[in-house]
Structure 1
Amino acid sequence: MGKTAESVWKNCLNFVEDNIQEQAFKTWFIPIQPVKLNENVLTIQVPSKFFYEWLEEHYIKLLKISLQKELGKEAKLVYSIVMDQKYSGKEAYTVKIPSSNKEKMLPQEVDAPMPIDSKKVKNPFIIPGLQKIKIDSQLNTGYNFHNFIEGETNRLARSAGKAVAKRPGGTSFNPLFIYGGVGLGKTHLAHAIGLEAKENHPDKTVLYVSTEKFTQQFIEAVRNNNRNDFIHFYQMIDILIMDDVQFLSGKKATQDVFFHIFNHLHQRGNQIILTSDKPPVDIQDMEQRLISRFKWGLSADLQAPDYDTRLSILNYKIEKDGIEMPEDVLDYIAKSIKTNVRELEGSLNSIIAQATLNKKEITLELTQKTLSNFINNTRKEISIDYIQRTVCDYFKIPIDEIQSKTRKRDVVQARQLAMYFAKKFTKASLSSIGSQIGNRDHATVLHACKTVKNLSETDKVFRGYVEELSRKISVE
């Protein structure tokens, strides 16, 4: 029996799986489907243009080796890319891209924006009375890629940011939507992308603006009857970085004006970078048309740094400041402060200040004493994994059962309780909870929480489950 696309791709996957981490294999290779085999040319279908670019950037050598093992040295790989529907009235379409040919056959955009005469547009960042020819990027040079320490929990966002800085508007990461909790580096990364993009492309106009500032400028423009000038100014920007877009929630007029600015920039191929404390799907009181546009490109989250990253951050900071610190002290800080980068750096500064003011050496004893109040008063972080295990132990159900697709009543009940407690005890988004508990969507999590609440009010036995599990989870 001759080779088929399925058999060739299966053998390629076996080779790839042996050479990369399990999570990476599941993320980047399981979704791929073999399409056809024509002599030494294998066509595979990937879910998006983002997938294609990521594979070419990170796994092309591995793919080449695996394919040549199957089809010989003349082997070629062709990508069939299913693009998402972006504009209403346009059909979803497929493009085919040979890996040897980087030219991407994409459809022509319609209704190209009219050019804007920049000399006639008022700059909302100029202080009245002061003349300024160029637009100030509003970037903080202290927030750069050099001091943004890479780790497992921020690698995707950082890599995507690097790609955007290298080719703004030229990747499928448009918009690049960066989200995460307080103090995890969203603003830092946004500035770093802007600074590097400015360095790589000095001819492009880069602008960083907080959503609060954007809203204030818009209100001022409406008050002064300069709404069109305000819109035209932002439509001239080549790389727009907007921080904390969740603050657009409830501001209908500001959302409307940003919608038009976003469309104009995106159609011109200009780069948009957005940050938020939650993923697009969890932003409340936001127009659906904006939410859908936020999801056009790549949504990358920043999570609390793991131990190795925390240690790297501490080492970088003391080296930069020229401070010597024992390894056991750094280890203690890294293991004790797990919440975010801001609190990690704040703890280090407190220890240095205590040692300096009291003219003492930095020792483990001094560190423990300095951090004792903070650690004792900070509630230990409860993870979604811990919650799942506690619920499964309580009901004597294997954890892989609630991760499965089974609809058995006892398993469904345990899964719903795990989702309920994950929402109650963690700061994770609904979509993040769903992805970690059975790979469900945010709507399923919302339904689970409502079900648990309703049953607690009507079923005494079930209410007992909830109360007992709540005590078990909250007492670590």
Structure 2
Amino acid sequence: MPAEQPADGVPTVPNGEPLDVQWQRVRARLRVSFGDAAFNSWLKPLALADEGLADDGDVHLAVPTRFMRDWVANHYSERLREIWRLENAAVRRVVIHVRPTGALQAPQGKPVMPVGDHQPVATSVARPSVPRVPSTLPALQVRDMDDIERELSAPLDPRFTFDSFITGKSNELARAAALRVAESPTVTYNPLFLYGGVGLGKTHLMHAIGWHIRQRFPERRVVYLSAEKFMYQFIRALRFKDTMAFKEQFRSVDVLMIDDIQFIAGKESTQEEFFHTFNALCDQNRQIIVSGDRSPSDLEGIEERMRSRLGWGLVADIHPTDFELRLSILQAKAEKNGLTNIPQDVLEFLARRITSNVRELEGALNRISAYASLVGKPVTVTSAQEVLQDLLRANDRKVTIEEIQKRVAEHYSIRFADMHSPRRARAVARPRQVAMYLAKQLTSRSLPEIGRKFGGRDHTTVMHAVRKIEELREIDAAFAEDIDLLRRKLES
């Protein structure tokens, strides 16, 4: 039987009782059935929709977000329908609309979630857009996605585009993968994981992906932020007891980009939340792009299940730049900024001496350009050496422990993982001691820091390794020559 409409517009059921009275009893039964915690989190936001009880026996309810709609449909749908039928036998199904709080009309073309006989409940919806909140609605309502995107996403740097990214052998795979993801209308690789050292172009590619997607697919919701900001957003949600809003925001985006994932190493609660966010977005076929300073399998302090998820899609390495690529980057930057006063031999000098990362390379170019402009002297290799002496000195010594471990492992034909393993066989222990010795000689890391990089070993183990290698160098000339060869390779 259809609901009657009295003069005041409040729907009634055949016995003349207003529908909202029935709804209040249904709510009370739901609270008893599921308890206060579940009711307050998921069921309390349910409200009667304008359609009320339709002629076909569908009772219409509304929730403010599709994430909440999906959750209610998947976890409470059958019991919700049973309770409605106890109150009113004419109810055949419960239909849940996604509708902002206070909206009087259903958004045109927006999907609804039917719950009833012979109606399968979908676990996800094929990329519907989040309803926009009309500007005429009162304050304190669900914000539209543009507001959420602006709040969550860090600003994208307009300088970082695919056109401004200089491609070489060391980064061609990463750029090609990033461009494929940005241009594809469907999810290609999920996740795309970009990794490499500091200043090699990971962040540039992340921003380039964001810009390209926003220009090519303006309807897609793109959120880019660092893992650090993700953690702080989560902590804020915990503090203000607003984790529901946090979950809804991050699980309503189309493309989620997380930079420097290694920051959440050792932070179990943040990893747990990111893990569930990751799974929810993958289930809904949303694109995830992550960057880190090493491959997923080598991330320390990250749970095994998270490392496994990060390695699901495509893992693209950005290797250290070679001389040709560094020179191309300098030439492109000099041309773009009109730095015609920088001779070619100075650019080649910079490309040869500053090998650590691209940021320092570009910073060096800016410094010598500023020197020439402020002092009024021509730029030469000699003047560049004087202006950049601190940077050049730091680059001469900047070798990472990971590079030392890899080079030593290759030299002695052992696995890189043996540098961190508990194995004590001589064939593994001696190269490990050599790597510890070189780490002490070529880096500024403390003994405890070095020990942690070798599988969490104590600093006394590092001290013993350094003394042992020094003793062997004194009594074995061939061994000393071997160590010197390794050192020259690492310093070159």
Distance 1:457 1:382, change over 3 A: closer
1:226 aligns with 2:242: yes
Determine the C-alpha separation between the residues in 2 that align with 1:113 and 1:466: 65
Deviations along 1:87-135, one digit per CA (max 9) or x if unpaired, are xxxxxxxxxxxxxxxxxxxxxxx984368894599xxxxxx99976623
Aligned partner of residue 396 in structure 2, secondary structure: coil
Distance 1:454 1:262, change over 3 A: same
Distance 1:272 1:282, change over 3 A: same
What number of residue pairs does the alignment pair up? 336
Distance 1:423 1:160, change over 3 A: farther
Deviations along 1:408-461, one digit per CA (max 9) or x if unpaired, are x8865665456556766789xxxxxxxxxxxxxxxxx957x9799869849987
Higher relative contact order (CA 8 A, sep 6+): 1
Distance 1:349 1:454, change over 3 A: closer
Q: Corresponding residue for 2:301? A: 285
Determine the C-alpha separation between the residues in 1 that align with 2:402 and 2:269: 41
Partner of residue 279 from structure 2, selected from 248, 259, 263:
263
Question: Pairwise mapping of residues 212-223 of structure 1 onto structure 2 (< 5 A)?
Answer: 212-223=228-239
Distance 1:220 1:298, change over 3 A: same
Shift of 1:200: 2.4
Determine the C-alpha separation between the residues in 2 that align with 1:222 and 1:390: 44
Determine the C-alpha separation between the residues in 2 that align with 1:265 and 1:402: 39
Determine the C-alpha separation between the residues in 1 that align with 2:124 and 2:438: 46
Give 2:204's aligned amino acid.
H
Distance 1:390 1:283, change over 3 A: closer
Shift of 1:321: 0.7
Q: Corresponding residue for 1:62? A: none
Distance 1:254 1:451, change over 3 A: closer
Gaps of 5+ in 2: 1-120, 134-139, 416-424, 444-452
Distance 1:426 1:203, change over 3 A: farther
Determine the C-alpha separation between the residues in 2 that align with 1:422 and 1:302: 25
TM-score normalised to the size of structure 2? 0.58
Q: Is the 8 A contact 1:179 1:301 kept in 2?
A: yes
Shift of 1:252: 1.9
Q: Corresponding residue for 1:16? A: none
Q: Corresponding residue for 1:311? A: 327
Q: Is the 8 A contact 2:132 2:145 kept in 1?
A: no
Shift of 1:285: 2.4
1:113 aligns with 2:130: no
Distance 1:290 1:411, change over 3 A: closer
Distance 1:453 1:190, change over 3 A: same
Question: Pairwise mapping of residues 416-455 of structure 1 onto structure 2 (< 5 A)?
Answer: 416=432, 420=436
Give 2:277's aligned amino acid.
I
Q: Is the 8 A contact 2:296 2:307 kept in 1?
A: yes
Aligned residues: percent identity? 37
Q: Corresponding residue for 2:196? A: 180
Distance 1:166 1:228, change over 3 A: same
Aligned partner of residue 379 in structure 1, secondary structure: helix
Structure 1 runs (4+) greater than 4 angstroms displaced:
114-117, 128-133, 381-392, 398-403, 409-427, 449-463, 466-471, 473-476
Distance 1:400 1:360, change over 3 A: same
Aligned partner of residue 161 in structure 1, secondary structure: helix
Q: Corresponding residue for 1:339? A: 356
Q: Corresponding residue for 1:150? A: 167
Determine the C-alpha separation between the residues in 1 that align with 2:338 and 2:413: 52
Q: Corresponding residue for 2:391? A: 374
Deviations along 1:124-155, one digit per CA (max 9) or x if unpaired, are xxxx9997662345322221111111112111
Shift of 1:362: 2.0
Shift of 1:244: 1.3
Distance 1:386 1:288, change over 3 A: closer
Q: Is the 8 A contact 2:436 2:465 kept in 1?
A: no
Partner of residue 376 from structure 2, selected from 333, 342, 359:
359
Deviations along 1:190-214, one digit per CA (max 9) or x if unpaired, are 1111111222222211111112221
Shift of 1:251: 2.1
Shift of 1:267: 1.5
Shift of 1:310: 0.6
Distance 1:418 1:149, change over 3 A: farther
Distance 1:466 1:284, change over 3 A: farther
Partner of residue 238 from structure 1, selected from 251, 254, 273:
254
Distance 1:331 1:213, change over 3 A: same
TM-score normalised to the size of structure 1? 0.60
Q: Corresponding residue for 1:199? A: 215
Aligned partner of residue 190 in structure 1, secondary structure: helix
Distance 1:454 1:155, change over 3 A: same
Give 1:177's aligned amino acid.
F
Deviations along 1:186-243, one digit per CA (max 9) or x if unpaired, are 1111111111122222221111111222122222222222211211111111111011
Distance 1:314 1:120, change over 3 A: closer
Aligned partner of residue 300 in structure 1, secondary structure: strand
Aligned partner of residue 193 in structure 2, secondary structure: strand
1:247 aligns with 2:263: yes
Q: Which has the larger radius of gyration?
A: 2
Q: Corresponding residue for 1:296? A: 312
Distance 1:414 1:459, change over 3 A: closer
Aligned partner of residue 170 in structure 1, secondary structure: coil
Q: Corresponding residue for 2:180? A: 163
Shift of 1:364: 2.6
Shift of 1:169: 4.8
Determine the C-alpha separation between the residues in 2 that align with 1:399 and 1:244: 30
Determine the C-alpha separation between the residues in 2 that align with 1:236 and 1:159: 27
Q: Corresponding residue for 1:57? A: none
Q: Corresponding residue for 2:472? A: 465
Shift of 1:271: 0.8
Q: Is the 8 A contact 1:182 1:277 kept in 2?
A: yes
Determine the C-alpha separation between the residues in 2 that align with 1:290 and 1:253: 13
Q: Is the 8 A contact 2:182 2:212 kept in 1?
A: yes
